[in-house]
Amino acid sequence: MTTHFNEMYLNGEVRSPYARLEDWTRSMPAELRIQKQAEAEALFRRIGITFAVYGEGGDPDRLIPFDMFPRVFTASEWARLERGIKQRARALNAFLVDVYGRGEIVRAGRIPAALVYQNEAYEKTVVGFIPPKGVYSHIVGVDIVRTGPNDFFVLEDNCRTPSGVSYMLESREMMMRMFPDLFRENRIEPVDRYHELLRRTLNSVAPVKCDREPTVVILTPGHYNSAYYEHSFLADLMGVELVEGADLFVDGAFVYMRTTEGPKRVDVIYRRLDDAFIDPLCYRPDSMLGVPGLMDVYRSGGVSICSAPGAGVADDKAVYTYVPEMVRFYLGEEPILNNVPTWQCGKADDLKYVLEHLAELVVKEVHGSGGYGMLVGPKCTKAEVEAFRLKIVADPGNYIAQPTLALSATPTFVEEGIAPRHVDLRPYCLVGERIELVPGGLTRVALKEGSLVVNSSQGGGVKDTWVLAE
Amino acid sequence: MLSRTAANLYWIARYMERAETAARLLEVGARISLLPTAQGYRNEWDSLLRSIGATGAFAAKYGEPGQRDIESFLFFDRDNPSSVASCITSARENGRIVRTALTTQVWDALNTAFQELRNIEATPRSELELSRLTDWTMRHAAMVRGAIDATLLRNDGYNFLNLGYYLERGDATARLMDVKYYVLLPRADYVGSGLDNDQWIMLLRALSAHRAFHWAYGGEVTAGKIAHFLILNPQCPRSLITCVAGANNHLSRIAKLYGRQSEAQDKAAALQAMLESETPERIFEEGLHEFLSRFIRETASLAGTVVDTYLSGDML
């Protein structure tokens, strides 16, 4: 493997955005650091920011490890990222409206019809329906990795219900509380407008039949869901009700929630629940989490659902390879952010290449998430690689492969002191009447030395992400 | 407010109060078993189980009642939904669901009780005396209650929480009295005997009302005075009338807040009026057990109406 880019240093010099942090770490004795770390953990626990993991024994309320060493972007680095992310969010939404409509991009031969229309995530139930403001994906989480000072790549898009934004907000709160001096010395763009922007975004996509200030709710699968904390956190910040399926019901042309004062009409549902579960009459009949009849109300303009059912076809890992094509096709622009080169095992040539170079590649399931079901070639034993080979051969269409990128690293507090650890970045782009992006995002860090897997379910942690003001 | 949120708050209160009741039951049972009674050891524990309607569930799992098994059943047993461990876990889980409707202090109190419970569960039983368990339970119940009173916004959620507390507590006081009177006292002709009075005093202790009683009444302890104290005296914090008046008050506040009366307010007001017109003599004439059974039924009916009206969300 090639050596990775350490975001703090370049040619032996400290890069400008990290200049002040150099002094900060030098002036911080180990005891203070340990004390601060304990303080942070106690605060997280106390506030209840946990990641609930049921059914595995042990403490059901786990903390996501929080690393106090921030990750920093300059204003100009961010400006480029911001343009690239917004461009992508626009293209993805244009694609969704198109493929549930006339399918121009398919007719033009820019993406294979089978990949779209036979995709598991393609929702036939919403064909011909255009959601309010033409937005399918209202919160687009774009996962970005870096390999050099100017080299950013999009690893994947999350168009349905990307999670983790609460960690972005809470990590910042924690840092401001523990190290106020850092915020006085560095000019750091604030992220705390996120919930206002989210509320505004959701308000802006009220359904056609809504003739008043819309009532917004967040729909959660319930308190056993691992992201429940985030659901309740966002509901609380926005001042909206956090509902479960059973709290809602359909009566005639509208959806209502059950309150202590009787039924109250609901206009916009920010759901943190997969399509398959939201309406047992329309999708999985065994779902206890959804609202029977919801889709009828949705399609007749009585309620908005964010993200819109069907949005998943845009963040499929096989469709991903065509996002740069979408940017060109719908926007007539060149993509600002590049994809990671990707081989689709469903294509004969690609498959041949992948099988020949398996030990060097990262292979992922098309519909997988959370870092599960993937092969990181260079980190695996021969036997593991061979076992994976059989899985690919059995169902090539289910896999894509990418080169093992030399992910950038940032300094991270570890037991021995400070050491570089690999990171990625997930900003949250909001799409409604306008497209908004708070300057920052969730930086996930692989805490194990050398590890490239940043997922919280597999030992990843989080960091505060700074964007410096001009 | 979402009906389910109101229900979660209501159940936080009921579970915390129920945990406390389980602890008080353990205490009253333990104290009564220390008395040199004619009945011997076994009967006390058996009667205690009968009072909470758990004889069957207990026998199925443990067989003959003995102190250690009763302690397991009432404090540790997760299969018993009314054990201290079950109640504290449920209260805390209800709290986690509505975390944002609680203050940090209330959540802290619930969460601390839960975390300490896990430590207690990991401690060898030989190191856990009964009194330590009951004191611990009452202390944490008080801490949650205190955090609610000191920090929570006085909105509808606060009223639903208090409604839960008062309904549960009224039910518990009635049941504890019933253990004593109906179940423990073997024959009617023991009424007024030395045995009878000893048991009443134990009951007062279990309700932490021993000293308060003497301040309020003085002189001889009689069944009439105690019945008055625990049923009809609004000064006693756990008396039936205090609990009903409390529930009535919070229901009235809800009606005012929502600008609408419901059957729940009518029922609570009727129950309070009934208690206000009672005297100890008339209660004993009816039969204390009969009176208490009637009260338990009517409180349950009121709780059912509260659920139907506000907490189920089915009102259209």
CB contact under 8 A, B4 and A247: yes
Of A235, A244, A261, the CB nearest to B258: A261
Looking at residue A286, what is its pLDDT? 87
Does residue A432 have a pLDDT over 80? yes
Q: Kindly report, residue by residue over A166-210, the tens digit of the pLDDT.
A: 999 999 999 998 999 999 988 999 999 999 999 999 999 999 999
Which of A284, A261, A132, A273 shows the shortest CA–CA distance to A204? Answer: A132
Instruction: Identify which has the larger pLDDT, A250 or A229.
Output: A250
Does residue B181 have a pLDDT over 80? no
Of B1, B96, B107, the CB nearest to A223: B96
Identify the contact set of chain B against chain A, taking CB-CB distances under 8 A: 1-6, 93, 96-97, 99-100, 104, 107-108, 111, 156, 160, 254, 258, 260, 310-316
Does residue B42 have a pLDDT over 80? no
Within this chain, do residues B214 and B268 fall inside the same structural domain, yes or no?
yes
Does residue B182 have a pLDDT over 70? no
Instruction: Identify which has the larger pLDDT, B36 or A218.
Output: A218
Does residue A308 have a pLDDT over 50? yes
Nearest CA in chain A to B2: A259
Within this chain, do residues B131 and B231 fall inside the same structural domain, yes or no?
no
Percentage, residues of chain B above pLDDT 90: 59
Within this chain, do residues B98 and B240 fall inside the same structural domain, yes or no?
no
Does residue A232 have a pLDDT over 60? yes
Confidence of residue A229 (pLDDT cuts 50, 70, 90): confident
Of B97, B104, B107, the CB nearest to A223: B97
Nearest-CA distance from B39 to chain A in Å?
46
Instruction: Identify which has the larger pLDDT, B182 or A58.
Output: B182
Residues of A within 8 A of B315 (CB-CB) are 262
Residues of A within 8 A of B100 (CB-CB) are 232-233, 235-236, 242
Q: Is A371 left (phi over 0), alpha (psi -120 to 50) or beta?
A: left
> Of A46-55, B18-27, B221-230, which has the strongest mean pLDDT?
B18-27
Within this chain, do residues B101 and B204 fall inside the same structural domain, yes or no?
no
Q: Kindly report, residue by residue over A375-424, the tens digit of the pLDDT.
A: 888 888 889 899 999 999 999 988 989 998 889 999 999 888 899 999 99
Within this chain, do residues B192 and B307 fall inside the same structural domain, yes or no?
yes
Within this chain, do residues B143 and B189 fall inside the same structural domain, yes or no?
no
Q: Kindly report, residue by residue over A16-37, the tens digit of the pLDDT.
A: 999 889 888 888 888 888 899 8
Confidence of residue B38 (pLDDT cuts 50, 70, 90): very low
Residues of B within 8 A of A250 (CB-CB) are none
Q: What average pLDDT does range A95-109 have in this prediction?
A: 97
Looking at residue B188, what is its pLDDT? 55
Within this chain, do residues B147 and B168 fall inside the same structural domain, yes or no?
no
Return the residue in A260, A265, A289, A291 with the most chain B beta carbons within 10 A, the one to mutate for interface testing: A260
Identify the contact set of chain A against chain B, taking CB-CB distances under 8 A: 46-48, 223, 228-229, 232-233, 235-236, 241-244, 246-247, 257-263
Residues of A within 8 A of B314 (CB-CB) are 258
Within this chain, do residues B3 and B142 fall inside the same structural domain, yes or no?
yes
Nearest-CA distance from B92 to chain A in Å?
12
Average pLDDT, chain A: 91
CB contact under 8 A, A260 and B311: yes
CB contact under 8 A, B2 and A261: no
Residues of B within 8 A of A258 (CB-CB) are 2-4, 312-314
CB contact under 8 A, B100 and A243: no
SS (H, E, C) chain A: CCCCCECCEECCEECHHHHHHHHHHHCCCHHHHHHHHHHHHHHHHHHCCCEECCCCCCCCEECCCEEEEEEEECHHHHHHHHHHHHHHHHHHHHHHHHHCCCCHHHHCCCCCHHHHHCCCCCCHHHCCCCCHHHCCCCEEEEEEEEEECCEEEEEEEECCCCCCHHHHHHHHHHHHHHCHHHHHHCCECCCCCHHHHHHHHHHHCCCCCCCCCCCEEEECCCCCCCCHHHHHHHHHHHCCEEECHHHEEEECCEEEEEECCEEEEECEEEECCCHHHHCCCCCCCCCCCCCCCHHHHHHCCCCEEECCCCHHHHCCCCHHHHHHHHHHHHHCCCCCCEECCCEECCCHHHHHHHHHCHHHEEEEECCCCCCCCCEEHHHCCHHHHHHHHHHHHHCHHHEEEEECCCCCEEEEEECCEEEEEEEEEECEEEECCCEEECCCCEEEEECCCCCCCCCHHHCEEEEEEEEECC
Looking at residue A457, what is its pLDDT? 67
Indicate the residue among B151, B182, B212 that finishes a domain: B151
Of B6, B99, B312, the CB nearest to A48: B99
Looking at residue B264, what is its pLDDT? 95
Does residue A59 have a pLDDT over 70? no
Looking at residue B47, what is its pLDDT? 72
Nearest CA in chain B to A61: B96
Nearest CA in chain A to B314: A258
Percentage, residues of chain A above pLDDT 90: 69
Looking at residue B74, what is its pLDDT? 93
Looking at residue A41, what is its pLDDT? 84
Does residue B40 have a pLDDT over 70? no
Instruction: Identify which has the larger pLDDT, A189 or A54.
Output: A189
Of B3, B96, B99, the CB nearest to A260: B3
CB contact under 8 A, A48 and B258: no
Indicate the residue among B118, B151, B184 that finishes a domain: B151
CB contact under 8 A, A232 and B111: no
**ipTM exceeds 0.95, yes or no:** no
Does residue A114 have a pLDDT over 60? yes
Nearest CA in chain A to B97: A223
Looking at residue B41, what is its pLDDT? 47
Of A229, A233, A258, the CB nearest to B313: A258
Nearest CA in chain A to B96: A223
Which range is least confidently modeled, A50-54, A306-310, B251-255? A50-54
CB contact under 8 A, A257 and B2: yes
Instruction: Identify which has the larger pLDDT, B46 or A195.
Output: A195
Indicate the residue among B151, B174, B204 that finishes a domain: B151
Within this chain, do residues B29 and B132 fall inside the same structural domain, yes or no?
yes
Within this chain, do residues B139 and B163 fall inside the same structural domain, yes or no?
no
Q: What average pLDDT does range B4-22 have in this prediction?
A: 96
Q: Kindly report, residue by residue over B113-134, the tens digit of the pLDDT.
A: 998 999 999 999 888 888 899 9
Q: Kindly report, residue by residue over B58-110, the tens digit of the pLDDT.
A: 999 998 888 888 899 999 999 999 999 999 999 999 999 998 889 889 999 99
Within this chain, do residues B60 and B166 fall inside the same structural domain, yes or no?
no
Within this chain, do residues B135 and B234 fall inside the same structural domain, yes or no?
no
CB contact under 8 A, B4 and A48: no
Looking at residue A214, what is its pLDDT? 97
- Residue B3 sits in which domain range? 1-151
Is residue A453 within 8 A of residue A371, CB to CB? The reply is: yes
* Count of structural domains, chain B: 2
**Domains contained in chain A, CATH given:** 9-121+137-190+424-467 (no CATH), 341-403 (3.30.1490.270)
Nearest-CA distance from A212 to chain B in Å?
20
Looking at residue B214, what is its pLDDT? 85
Residues of A within 8 A of B312 (CB-CB) are 258
Does residue A54 have a pLDDT over 50? no
Looking at residue A30, what is its pLDDT? 85
Looking at residue B257, what is its pLDDT? 95
Q: What average pLDDT does range A447-460 have in this prediction?
A: 79
Q: What average pLDDT does range B159-164 have in this prediction?
A: 97
For residue B245, give Cα distances in angstroms to A219, A396, B96, B216, B293: 38, 71, 30, 20, 19
Which range is least confidently modeled, A48-52, A232-236, B140-144, B305-309? A48-52
Give me the total of CB pairs closer than 8 Å, taking one residue from chain A and one from chain B: 59
